[in-house]
Structure 1
């Protein structure tokens, strides 16, 4: 029960890595807001773990403000924020990615971190501390061809994590990031371009451990970074990648 008594918001928690993080947090005693743009997905995971479902568009300022207000109304405080919601563009030459795709990737992967900070950091400062976890990617550490703007958005997330950690440390707020390799999530097919046995084999060949990351892998890593066990850890990027970036 490492998170007993803590209140957490996990974005993009209606499926994939976010669902794994929400499940782990709940199992460790946290009260969890399962936030997702997919209301049905959020409701399903919240029902499974006894959490609070909330539909939110993390790229929209009004929606993020409403999410934070709802969490405060339900829990009275916000101890943990996990910025997990993310999107990618399909693999393509950098000059062939449309402006609309570029804008969407940056809005969901980068602007969301700014918006949640605006709405959650003041509360964490007022209560004397908290933990923020940004779910980046190995793409931000070791970029892959044909995913240039997704790579860049996750690199931005890593730099933002480090900048936030330095600024917020005096307020007792720790900020870290996870860098997972691709896993069994709804985004897998988008990363590979097509989900075929051949493409899976090709992708798996780049991961020394020989498997994709799982939602449970992410939940375990997130739980550590957001618990008191990591009280001296801030500004770090924990690679959960099976050796992909070595």
Structure 2
């Protein structure tokens, strides 16, 4: 899909990856609606690109429906819905130690928000015979995030839902892509400047990720990998699961030896 003159909604667009995607989509000629729990942040991003900024709690289906209705009212239809909102909350100790609130929030933001978006736009897209669902997951949804079972499990579920959409609705003319990056220089990793880059190997800027995403959308690639090495890791995992698990255990031990924690803000400095 070429983005020029397309109507795009992006959630979680107040900052970080979402804001970078919104700016890149606009640069490609799209009419972008930025939705975020932080309404003022969404409006600020939108004002930079001549877009529409709306408040939206993606864990509430009525909020997602309201955003879609507003875009349809103003622009006629939604060509592409980018479900980007996400969180990463650390676990206290063992893999089941995070509270139910963490698991529920992770599930609602990483999975149900994608379901709500699809419910809101699929009927119109199917009727027209075209449309695009662009969903943010993570390399953790293909591999695993050491030290964060809730994040890994829900990102795996996000990838699974995207696969189901592609399988079921490809014949309806619906395109689906799932984005699976590793480390990106955003506030989630402790980077305060939304324009930040990083000299650390393996950590890319949000702008670099956005470039890769646009290329993937233009090619209508299902699996968008801003970090190409992830493809090799997937092959390693699928080729010998036990060996891969052993390598991951060894990596976890090395991280604990070097930084004493598996919190994501500390681990990214080792990549």
Partner residue, 2:168: 167
Q: Alignment RMSD, CA only?
A: 2.0
Partner residue, 1:99: 100
Alignment of 1:140-151 (within 5 A): 140-151=141-152
> Could you tell me how far apart the structure 1 residues matched to 2:68 and 2:56 are?
10
- Residues 132 and 226 of structure 1 are in contact (CA less than 8 Å); yes or no, is this contact kept in structure 2? no
> Could you tell me how far apart the structure 2 residues matched to 1:221 and 1:129 are?
22
> Could you tell me how far apart the structure 2 residues matched to 1:242 and 1:181 are?
10
Partner residue, 2:7: 7
Alignment of 1:141-220 (within 5 A): 141-189=142-190, 204=200, 210-220=201-211
Q: In the comparison of the two structures, how many residue pairs are matched?
A: 225
> Could you tell me how far apart the structure 2 residues matched to 1:24 and 1:33 are?
13
TM-score, reference length from structure 2? 0.78
Pairwise CA distance, 1:57: 0.7
Look up the SS of the partner of 1:10 in the other structure: strand
Pairwise CA distance, 1:144: 2.5
Look up the SS of the partner of 1:176 in the other structure: strand
Q: Who wins on radius of gyration, i.e. which is larger?
A: 2
Pairwise CA distance, 1:34: 0.5
> Could you tell me how far apart the structure 2 residues matched to 1:166 and 1:106 are?
22
1:88 pairs with 2:79: no
1:129 pairs with 2:120: no
> Could you tell me how far apart the structure 2 residues matched to 1:211 and 1:96 are?
29
TM-score, reference length from structure 1? 0.86
- Unaligned runs of 5+ residues in structure 1 are 191-199, 205-209
Alignment of 1:40-79 (within 5 A): 40-79=40-79
> Could you tell me how far apart the structure 2 residues matched to 1:114 and 1:163 are?
11
Pairwise CA distance, 1:120: 0.8
Pairwise CA distance, 1:145: 2.4
Pairwise CA distance, 1:222: 2.1
- Residues 145 and 151 of structure 2 are in contact (CA less than 8 Å); yes or no, is this contact kept in structure 1? no
Pairwise CA distance, 1:90: 1.2
Look up the SS of the partner of 1:94 in the other structure: coil
What whole-Å deviation, never above 9, does each CA across 1:34-73 have from its counterpart, x for those lacking one?
Answer: 1111011101110101110011011101111101101111
> Could you tell me how far apart the structure 2 residues matched to 1:158 and 1:237 are?
9
Pairwise CA distance, 1:124: 1.1
> Could you tell me how far apart the structure 2 residues matched to 1:165 and 1:242 are?
22
Bigger relative contact order, structure 1 or 2, given CA contacts below 8 A and separation 6+? Answer: 1
Partner residue, 1:226: 217
> Could you tell me how far apart the structure 2 residues matched to 1:242 and 1:125 are?
32
Partner residue, 1:16: 16
What whole-Å deviation, never above 9, does each CA across 1:155-213 have from its counterpart, x for those lacking one?
Answer: 111111111001111111111111111212121149xxxxxxxxx99xx5xxxxx1412
- Residues 202 and 227 of structure 2 are in contact (CA less than 8 Å); yes or no, is this contact kept in structure 1? no
Partner residue, 2:27: 27
What whole-Å deviation, never above 9, does each CA across 1:113-170 have from its counterpart, x for those lacking one?
Answer: 1111110111111222011111110111221322111001111111111110011111
Alignment of 1:115-126 (within 5 A): 115-126=116-127
